């Protein structure tokens, strides 16, 4: 179900900053970059990264619950 939710999220948001941040942080197999590192790479504030990741996680959760 989680994999399905991520696939749905990817399909809907593949071109978005939210997807890039989620993929770069939550789906990485190596050591996760810090929010500060992600912010620097994207030219964002840490607060913006935090907000985008929180939104992405809620959306994946919503999609998973929808599948139930």
Q: State residue 21's pLDDT score.
A: 97
- 42: nearest Cα among 29, 23, 67, 68: 23
CATH of 2-67, one of 1.10.10, 3.40.50, 1.20.140, 1.20.58: 1.10.10
Which ranges in the chain belong to alpha helices (H)? 2-13, 17-25, 35-42, 46-67
pLDDT tens readout for residues 41-57: 999 999 999 999 999 99
Query: What is the model's pTM?
Result: 0.89
Q: Tens of pLDDT along 1-42?
A: 889 999 999 999 999 999 999 999 999 999 999 999 999 999
> What local confidence, expressed as pLDDT, does residue 67 receive?
83
């Amino acid at each position: 179900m989680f994999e399905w939710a991520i696939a749905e999220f990817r399909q809907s948001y593949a071109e978005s900053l939210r997807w890039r941040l989620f993929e770069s942080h939550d789906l990485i197999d190596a050591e996760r970059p810090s929010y500060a590192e992600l912010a620097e790479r994207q030219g964002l504030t840490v607060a913006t990264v935090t907000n985008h990741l929180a939104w992405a996680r809620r959306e994946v959760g919503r999609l998973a619950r929808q599948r139930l």
